[in-house]
Structure 1
Amino acid sequence: MSDQYSAAASASPSLTDKLVTLRAFFKAQKAVILTTRDADGSLHARVMAIAEITPDWKFRFIYDKESHKDVEVQNDAHVNIAVDGTQNNTGWASIAGKASRIEDHAVVEKLWNPTIKAWFADKGDGVHDGTPSDPRVVVFEVKVDEIRHFHQEKTTLGTVVDVISSTISGSTATPGSIRTITGQEIASAWSRNELKEP
């Protein structure tokens, strides 16, 4: 059973509509929070920039395979990607998925941009130099299990009015809609060639 807010804010547009809206949402965001789990169960979160969202909705990040998040994902592949766009009235999203490492440097080369080198110190050995051929530079890919996206449909003023009127009337405020998308839905639509290229 859903809580009252989730029940009031749930929406069922088509999968295509949900994904088109979600892609637009992510284009407006500069960074996300990626959360991984340590061997002792501790959750660790950090800000990451998305390098790519593939047409079949895999989230890709360039990262250092010598970092602790790599150790954590080897221990437990379950991760969460979260982004808060409520400050600019675009809503929020939470993506539960499973992570894996891609060491194909053709993929790294495709996603590379010069600013990435700033995150990899040059070790001066001619190998670990922060370029796409550096063996530390790999891709962290998250395959979606479930996406929950709050699509904000009211402005800040509209939300304030909604909250006040709901407080007075005893109803539940609904400044937007919560949309759920499963990894199975995405995989099924992809196999039927129903997903549009970004």
Structure 2
Amino acid sequence: MSDQYTAASISAPTLSQKLIDLKALLSAQKSVILVTHAPNGRLHGRVMHIAQITPDWRFYFIYDNQSYKDVEIDNDLHVNISVDGMSQNKGWASIAGKAKRNNSPGLVEQIWNPTIKAWFADLGDGVHDGSPTDPRVAVLEVKIEEVRHYHQQKTAIGTVVDVVASTIKGATATPGDIREITGEEIAAAWAKGELKEP
């Protein structure tokens, strides 16, 4: 089931092209919104920075394992990553996935950078200092289940023209297209060696 706008805007370029355009959107944003489910059923969102996207399109976030994110992931591993580039005329994306802690040895050191230290107060005990060895510094991994990406095709002026013309004609404006990507598509392409480096 889809509304008229979605039906008019749906498009199906190759998986490779969809991922190239999705990566362009993600690269243009300094942060995303990570949404989790609280035990009481409420949704909680917070601004996060993607530390890394792996070659098989898993997202890594550095986070504080003393935060309520841990409780919420234990409650329900289903999460959403929301990306908003509309103010830059770059579209948006909604990425549904499953989250887990990734305790792989050396991973924190691999993706850590000095600015992360600002989010972890130095407790002055020589251990909890915001460094990669701080036991609070952890990696959250999100594996994609489904992506809905609105890929902006027209400039800001072109979008206004499209909306005005569609209003006059009684048609549906389509300044961009909506693309869907599934986790199964990504996994199949990865298994065949068809995925390009994100």
> Which residue in the other structure is 2:185 paired with?
185
> Which residue in the other structure is 1:40 paired with?
40
Q: Distance in 2 between matches of 1:86 and 1:118?
A: 29
Alpha-carbon shift at residue 99 of structure 1 (Å)? 0.4
Q: Distance in 1 between matches of 2:103 and 2:192?
A: 29
Q: Distance in 2 between matches of 1:113 and 1:66?
A: 20
3-state SS of paired residue (1:13): coil
Q: Distance in 2 between matches of 1:61 and 1:24?
A: 18
State the AA in 2 paired with 1:43. L
Q: Distance in 1 between matches of 2:116 and 2:105?
A: 14
Q: Distance in 2 between matches of 1:172 and 1:197?
A: 36
3-state SS of paired residue (2:173): coil
> Which residue in the other structure is 2:58 paired with?
58
TM-score scaled by structure 1? Answer: 0.98
Supply the RMSD in Å over aligned alpha carbons.
Answer: 0.8
Alpha-carbon shift at residue 85 of structure 1 (Å)? 0.3
Does structure 2 conserve the Cα–Cα contact (< 8 Å) formed by 1:31 and 1:50?
yes
> Which residue in the other structure is 2:175 paired with?
175
> Which residue in the other structure is 1:6 paired with?
6
Alpha-carbon shift at residue 126 of structure 1 (Å)? 1.7
Q: Distance in 2 between matches of 1:33 and 1:62?
A: 14
> Which residue in the other structure is 1:71 paired with?
71
The equivalences for 1:104-123 within 5 A come to 104-123=104-123
Does structure 2 conserve the Cα–Cα contact (< 8 Å) formed by 1:105 and 1:132?
no
Q: Distance in 1 between matches of 2:51 and 2:103?
A: 15
State the AA in 2 paired with 1:190. W
TM-score scaled by structure 2? Answer: 0.98
For this pair of structures, how many residues does the alignment match? 198
3-state SS of paired residue (2:16): helix
State the AA in 2 paired with 1:120. F
Q: Distance in 2 between matches of 1:171 and 1:102?
A: 48
Segments of 4+ moved more than 3 angstroms: none
State the AA in 1 paired with 2:111. L
Identity, % of aligned pairs? 65
Alpha-carbon shift at residue 74 of structure 1 (Å)? 0.7
Alpha-carbon shift at residue 21 of structure 1 (Å)? 1.1
Alpha-carbon shift at residue 105 of structure 1 (Å)? 4.6
Q: Which runs of 5+ in 2 are unaligned?
A: none
